[in-house]
Amino acid sequence: MSIVNEATQPQAAVPTPTQPWKRPKSAQRKDLTFATVVAVAAAIFVLITGFAGVDGWLFASFLLVLGVTLVRGRKLIAKERRNNVASLLIASAAIAAFIPWMSIFVSVLIKGAKGLRPNFLYSDMRTTTPDDVLSMGGAGHAILGSLMMVIIATLITLPLGILSGVYLTEVRGRFTNVVRFVIQSMSGVPSIVAGLFIYTTYVNATNSFSALAGSFALGILMLPTVARTSEEVLKLVPDDLRSASFALGARQWRTTMMIVLPTVRSGLITAAILGTARVVGETAPLLLTSLSNTSFIFNPVQGPIGSLPMYIFGLLQIGTENAINRAWAGSLILLLLVFGLFSLARYVGGKDKR
């Protein structure tokens, strides 16, 4: 019996996985070269024409790319030519929709950073005028007021929103269509109307503006978001889970409490966070419910209380340089707060894969 040397045997070829969706490096270099040429040509076009600024440069770039696409398309069949033009128009529309958002974010970031100081987060404006130097005073009282009203509104609205979703998806009683219609109608209610409703029913009755009144107004605006999100999340629960629970002898309320709600726990948390992010920047309802204040208020029924939207609104009305810088800093804090809430919602919503 002969012994065959393993080293002399031909080795089997190891298959290498391909990535057909990934463009080769040569094509990537061509795309980079083409983008560079278009950018330079658009800049020259802006210099020799009446176009100006970034908007003019973007418009010139679009015209150049469209012209090149049409010229190249003459050598292609009609289907490919239409596909290239449609792809260009869709990409341009996406960029056009994205640029204003980025412009707002960058503007708030740049201008807000000028007025942001460490004292801005923990000081109030009780002994500081809006035109004082930025190292004096701050928006600590407004941050505290906004958090207080949002937390109270969440504690009131979250149970009601989840119960509404449970009624629409689990109970499905005779008033299902009515409840769904009311919730959808509330989604389009102007925020000032919510503030006016609380003003006529609560503020006039107590003869006092307060954080609690502001919380009621914010809760009205938060309820449709929480209820509709909860309904959509509860619809994702497979009916097999409910059937298995019923087969074991559990009643409907126990199935809902022990099976359905724990299954979509992360989705319900996301609904609460989205509702909070929806109302944290509202200004109109606070004009009629909580007004504003320049000092720290810890009692929700003590009287008028400061908030970030009212802080920004009041400083912009004054119009001096330092007041506007403080308003931009408050806008930056508010924007970061909303961004953090939406990021937390995405994280919580994507963490549970059930």
pLDDT single digits (tens) 130-150: 888 888 888 999 999 999 999
For the chain, count helices (H), then strands (E): 15, 0
Confirm if 279 and 290 have CB atoms less than 8 A apart: no
pLDDT of 228 strictly over 60: yes
pLDDT band of residue 350 (cuts 50, 70, 90) is low
**pLDDT at 51 exceeding the cut of 70:** yes
Give the mean model confidence (pLDDT) for residues 42-67. 82
User: What percent of the chain is modeled with pLDDT above 70?
Assistant: 92
- pLDDT for 8 equals 56
- Is the pLDDT at 352 greater than 80, yes or no? no
Q: What is the pLDDT of residues 263-307, one digit of tens each?
A: 888 888 888 888 888 898 899 999 999 989 989 999 999 889 999
Mean pLDDT to the nearest integer, 1-26: 63
pLDDT digit string, tens, across residues 68-113: 887 877 777 878 888 888 888 888 888 888 888 888 888 899 998 8
* Alpha carbon distance 307, 292 (integer Å): 7
Residue 96 is predicted with a pLDDT of 82
Rounded Cα distance, 310 and 116, in Å: 18
Asked whether residue 6 carries a pLDDT value surpassing 80, the answer given is no
Is residue 1's pLDDT more than 50?
no
CA–CA dist 162, 167 (Å, integer): 9
Are 134 and 320 within 8 A, CB to CB?
A: no
Q: What pLDDT is recorded for position 220?
A: 93
pLDDT at 328 exceeding the cut of 90: yes
Q: How far, CA to CA in Å, does 279 sit from each of 171, 275, 286?
A: 29, 7, 11
**pLDDT of amino acid 38:** 85
Tens digits of residue pLDDT in 161-185: 999 999 999 888 888 889 889 888 8
Which amino acid belongs to residue 157? Answer: T
- In single-letter form, the type of residue at position 268 comes to L
C-alpha 300/C-alpha 307 separation (Å) is 12
Reading the block at residue 42, the tokens are 């658009």
How buried is 42 (Cβ within 10 angstroms: 0-12 exposed, 13-18 middle, 19+ buried)?
buried
From the number of C-beta atoms within 10 Å of its C-beta (0-12, 13-18, 19+), residue 307 rates as buried
Confidence of residue 21 (pLDDT cuts 50, 70, 90): low
Tell me how many degrees the CA angle 140-208-276 measures, rounded to the nearest 5.
50
- Given pLDDT bands bounded at 50, 70 and 90, which one contains residue 13? low
Q: Are 350 and 267 in contact (CB under 8 A)?
A: no
Distance CA 301, CA 276 (A): 21
Q: Which residue has the tokens 């490096």?
A: 25
Q: What is the pLDDT of residue 7?
A: 52
Distances (CA, A) of 256 to 83, 169, 177, 233, 253: 49, 10, 21, 13, 5
Predicted pLDDT of residue 197? 93
pLDDT on residue 5: 54
